[in-house]
Amino acid sequence: MFLMPLSAHAASSSSVTRSLLNEAGGEDFSGQSLIRAEFTNATFRNTNFSNADLRGALFNGVLLDGANLHGIDFGSGIAYVSRFKDVDLSDAILADTNMLRSIFDNVDVTGADFTNALLDMQQVKKICVKASGINSKTGVDTRESLACS
C-alpha cells in the first residue's frame, strides 16, 4: 500500500488580493503592495489604486472606468483586453508592460513612463494627442517613451 500525501493549498497574498478586488468598485487600495496580483474579468469602477505597487500584476478582461492609477508602478505587468476609460495614469510607471488589445479612452497620462511598453498602434496615437510631462520617479519624458511624433 502506497501512502499518497494530500496536496496542500496555501493562501498567498496574490490569491487573497485577487478575491477581494474582483468585487471592487469605489474601493481604496492606494499605496498597497499588489505585486504579481491577478485580476480577471473584474470591474474597478472609480477604484483608487494611486501609488500602489502593481509590478508584474495581470489585468485580463478588466474594466477600469474612472479608476485612479496616479503614481502606480505597473512595471513588467500585463493588461490584456482591458479598458482604461476616464482613468488617471499620471506619473505612472508602465515600463516593460504589455498592454496589447487594451483600450484607452480619455486617460490622463501626464508624466507617465511607457518605456518599452507594448500597446496597439491605434491606442498609442490616441494617447499621444494629450501626452505630456516627465515622470517624477524615472525622469522619462512621456511623449518620448510612447515614441509620439
pLDDT digits (tens, 9 = 90+) for 17-72: 444 445 556 789 999 999 999 999 999 999 999 999 999 999 999 999 999 999 99
pLDDT for residue 24? 58
The pTM assigned to this predicted structure is 0.84
CATH no., domain 39-149: 2.160.20.80
Q: 3-state SS of the chain?
A: CCCCCCCCCCCCHHHHHHHHHCCCCCCECCCCECCCCEEECCECCCCECCCCECCCCEEECCEEECCECCCCECCCCEEECCEEECCECCCCECCCCECCCCEEECCECCCCECCCCECCHHHHHHHHCCCCCECCCCCCEHHHHHCCC
